[in-house]
Chain A
Amino acid sequence: MADLINPVYLHKKTLEQARTLFLNNTPNSIQLHQFLTQNCYHELIKKISRLAWKQKSIPDLYQYTTTKIPKDIKTILTTRGITTILNTITSRETILQHAELCCFEHYDYTLLNDACTKKQTLFFELELTPTWNLTWGGYTSYVNHGTELVRNNPTPNTLTIVQQNKDTQHFIKYVNHFAQKNKRVLIRGILTEQ
Chain B
Amino acid sequence: MYDLINSRYLKQVNALKQQFIQNKPFPYLILKNFLQLDLASKLTTALIQQEFNDKNSDLFQFKQTNELKHNTNPVMRDFYTFFSSPEFIDYLADISDIKLDGTIDMAGFIYQPGDYLLPHDDRLEGRKIAYVLNLSHGFTAKDGGALELFSTTNHHPTLVTKKIPPTYNTLTIFKVTPTSFHQVHEVLSTKSRLSIGGWFHG
A residues with a Cβ closer than 8 A to B are 58-61, 107, 109-112, 135, 137, 141, 143, 146, 171, 173-174, 176-178
Q: Please report the total number of B residues contacting A with Cβ < 8 Å.
A: 20
Q: Which residues of B contact A58 (CB under 8 A)?
A: 156-157
Complex interface: stretch among B22-30, B34-42, B114-122: B114-122
Contact A59 B181 (CB under 8 A): yes
Residue in A107, A111, A178 whose CB lies within 8 Å of B58: A111
B199 interface hit (Cβ, 8 Å) = no
| 10 pairs from A and B in contact (CB 8 Å cutoff) | A60-B120, A135-B114, A141-B58, A171-B58, A174-B58, A174-B61, A174-B186, A176-B186, A177-B144, A177-B188
Per the bound structure, the CA–CA distance linking A135 and B120 in Å amounts to 24
Shortest CB–CB separation between residue B157 and chain A, in angstroms? 4
B59 interface hit (Cβ, 8 Å) = yes
Nearest B-chain residue to A57, judged by Cβ:
B158
Q: Which residues of B contact A110 (CB under 8 A)?
A: 58
Contact B188 A173 (CB under 8 A): no
Contact B118 A109 (CB under 8 A): yes
Nearest B-chain residue to A179, judged by Cβ:
B114
Q: Which residues of B contact A173 (CB under 8 A)?
A: 58
Nearest B-chain residue to A170, judged by Cβ:
B58
Q: A60-B157, A60-B181, A111-B59 are in contact. List 16 more A-B contacts (CB 8 A).
A: A58-B157, A59-B119, A59-B181, A60-B119, A60-B120, A60-B121, A61-B156, A107-B186, A111-B58, A146-B57, A171-B58, A174-B58, A174-B118, A177-B144, A177-B186, A178-B114
Per the bound structure, the CA–CA distance linking A122 and B132 in Å amounts to 42
* Secondary structure call for the A interface: loop
Using a Cβ cutoff of 8 Å, how many contacts connect chains A and B? 48
Closest 4 CB pairs of A and B: A171-B58, A59-B119, A176-B114, A59-B157
B131 interface hit (Cβ, 8 Å) = no
B150 interface hit (Cβ, 8 Å) = yes
Q: Which residues of B contact A174 (CB under 8 A)?
A: 58, 61, 116, 118, 186
Q: Which residues of A contact B61 (CB under 8 A)?
A: 174
Nearest B-chain residue to A178, judged by Cβ:
B114
Q: Which residues of B contact A171 (CB under 8 A)?
A: 58
Nearest A-chain residue to B188, judged by Cβ:
A177
Q: Which residues of A contact B188 (CB under 8 A)?
A: 177
Q: Which residues of B contact A109 (CB under 8 A)?
A: 58, 118
Within 8 A of A (CB), among B95-116: 113-114, 116
Per the bound structure, the CA–CA distance linking A135 and B59 in Å amounts to 16
Shortest CB–CB separation between residue A189 and chain B, in angstroms? 20
Once A111-B59, A176-B186, A177-B186 are accepted as A-B contacts, the answer to whether A59 and B158 lie under 8 Å apart by CB is yes
Q: Which residues of A contact B57 (CB under 8 A)?
A: 146
Per the bound structure, the CA–CA distance linking A194 and B53 in Å amounts to 47
Q: A61, A109, A135, A177 — which one has the most chain B CB atoms within 10 A of its CB?
A: A177
Nearest B-chain residue to A107, judged by Cβ:
B186
Shortest CB–CB separation between residue B152 and chain A, in angstroms? 10
Contact A59 B150 (CB under 8 A): yes
Q: A59, A61, A137, A146 — which one has the most chain B CB atoms within 10 A of its CB?
A: A59
